Amino acid sequence: MKKKMLVIVNPISGVGRQKKIERLLRDNLNHDLYDHTVRYTEHIHHGTELAREGVMQGFDIITAVGGDGSVNDVIAGIHGSDATLGIIPCGSGNGLARCMKIPLTPALAIRVLNQANQGLIDTIVLNEKYYIASIAGVGFDAYIARLMKSAKLRGFSAYLNLILREYPTYESKDYTLVIDGQEIRRKAWFTTFANSNQFGYNAAIAPLAKLDDGLIDISIVDKIPIGHVPITGPLVYANHFELSQHVEMFKAHEVHVAGNVDRWVNIDGEGENVGDELHFVNHQKSLKIMKRDMKKSLLTANPAEHLQLVKDQLEMTHDQLHPKK
């Protein structure tokens, strides 16, 4: 019996790759496995509303097409239901997809859905209201996420430009954290609370994090002197940030945070005004998700198919280098 799949597309997410989604679904989705319906978001957090409607309408799989913020919206709509999350990454950072080894080429991500390989991952619940599948943070990363919310351009270059512009003036803040009942006080440039290992862009801020271990990985980061960036940056991209002298890491089931004077939190790449008191709780294996079976190839032996994938990849790269306003 075919499963019903709702595909929720954020038409302004990332850098524009999602605009080809209907053709890619037609050409790559296994239509013997799935009957699919495509719907487009029209305003902020509309994806959550569409996902909730999809649950009520009996869709088995609800697939997010967009970046981590789009995925987060869908998770908020299906959390606690029997629906399964699918991901076709079309954002700029794509942290959860990268962590799960889901290809950033949309056609191949669709073929991951064809593998019908369902698994369970943790979610982190913030203040009993916000759901986090990848990573949350306070301090500088939340400040940048807040600025990105109103930025005219998306993509890595826009993100990097904001970091370089704001880096010199953003000062560390005082925080009190209660980590599984143990109180610590720290002055931090930013602090992250991770389920997956990275922000996105392969920047592994929590290299020891696992998606299903029932734990929140906490990284408390000092402001990194300019002279140390050439050393610290490669550690982040080599998945060894824990070796940096500028980070202190913990693991916990539950974390309380006081002193978030900025009030903003980076939630899966999107800035949200949450408040100065924060309560993070890990909900182990609480989300059904379509996972990649790494033992199976996503490619066939058809040369024409390979050429089409190369064409799609070149178009994606062009869009990344020349993001639309």
For the chain, which residues make up each domain, given as ranges? 3-116+295-321, 130-284
Q: Match domain 130-284 to its CATH number in 2.40.110.20, 1.10.260.40, 2.60.200.40, 2.60.40.1730.
A: 2.60.200.40
pLDDT digits (tens, 9 = 90+) for 35-49: 999 999 999 999 999
First-to-last C-alpha distance (Å) of the chain: 43
CB 72 within 8 A of CB 277: no
Distance, in Å, from the CA atom of 134 to the CA atom of 199, rounded to the nearest integer, reads 8
According to the per-residue pLDDT averaged within each range, which of 27-36, 150-159, 296-305 is highest?
A: 27-36
Which range has the worst mean pLDDT, 47-51, 95-99, 177-181, 224-228?
Answer: 224-228
Which pLDDT band, with edges at 50, 70 and 90, does 166 fall under? very high
H-helix segments, the chain: 21-28, 46-56, 68-78, 95-99, 106-114, 140-149, 156-166, 229-237, 303-321
Whether 24 has a pLDDT exceeding 80, the answer reads: yes
Give the H/E segment covering residue 39. strand 34-40
Mean pLDDT of the 245-258 span? 97
Question: Residues 276-323: pLDDT tens digits?
Answer: 999 999 999 999 999 999 999 887 666 666 677 767 666 655 555 455
Torsion over CA: 317, 301, 24, 297 (sign): negative
Query: Model pTM?
Result: 0.89
CATH of domain 3-116+295-321: 3.40.50.10330
Instruction: Pick the closest to residue 113 from 81, 93, 79, 86 (CA basis).
Output: 86
